[in-house]
Amino acid sequence: MAQQDQVKRSHGFLRLVLMVVVVLACVWGLRTFVIAPYEIPSGSMETTIMTGDRIFSEKITYYTRDIQAGDIVTFDDPINPGRTLIKRVIATGGQTVDLRDGVVYVDDVPLAESYTHGLPSYPLSVTAVDVSFPYTVPQGDVWVMGDNRTNSADSRSFGAVPVANVTGKACAIYWPLNRIGGLS
């Protein structure tokens, strides 16, 4: 009888270990291939996304379509490895970005950017790489800018971002509760 109890306890322990392994594998799979949470540390996307907001960035969209202008994306920081940034895609490979009198032009068409709340878009005086305008985005790259144009280190500072560095499309704010909602 004691031996049967020992076997039952061993089987119970093995089932518990197996369940923990399966749960951890599922969490890893979801974070790697489906969705990842992020906390926003800066004001570069205000007022669309506020400092301290927590967002989900999903990865499924880019399995079925290319990145498009207007998408809010998360990507690996080209200057600070290991850090993830979030910005809005302004232009994709082959398009030309220009900044004139505080207005962003893509292929000589001024953008209507209500999400900037009228903040001007000027070239940055301090940059990590030499960026001059007009700037043609290389194929396989995207040009990204923060919605808070006067407080954003973005492609004006570090240049175009390789599509391979994009980790997902920001899809929702999940915290704080009074800001829960979708992102577009």
Indicate the average pLDDT of the chain: 91
**Each residue of 94-111: pLDDT tens digit?**
999 999 999 999 999 999
Residue by residue, DSSP assigns the chain as: -HHHHHHHHHHHHHHHHHHHHHHHHHHHHHHHHTEEEEE--SSTTTTTS-TT-EEEEESSHHHHS---TT-EEEEE-SSSTT-EEEEEEEEETT-EEEEETTEEEETTEE---GGGTT------SS-SS---SSEEPPTTEEEEE-SSGGG--SHHHH--EEGGGEEEEEEEEEESGGG-EE--
Which pTM does this prediction carry?
A: 0.85
Count the domains in the chain.
Answer: 2
Same domain, 83 and 160: yes
State mean pLDDT over 75-81: 92
**Each residue of 44-66: pLDDT tens digit?**
999 999 999 999 999 999 999 99
Active site residues: 44, 87
State mean pLDDT over 166-177: 95
Same domain, 41 and 119: yes
pLDDT tier for residue 19 given thresholds of 50, 70 and 90: confident
Query: What domain range includes position 160?
Result: 34-182
Sign for the pseudo-dihedral over CA of 41, 46, 52, 56 = negative
Same domain, 27 and 109: no
Same domain, 90 and 25: no
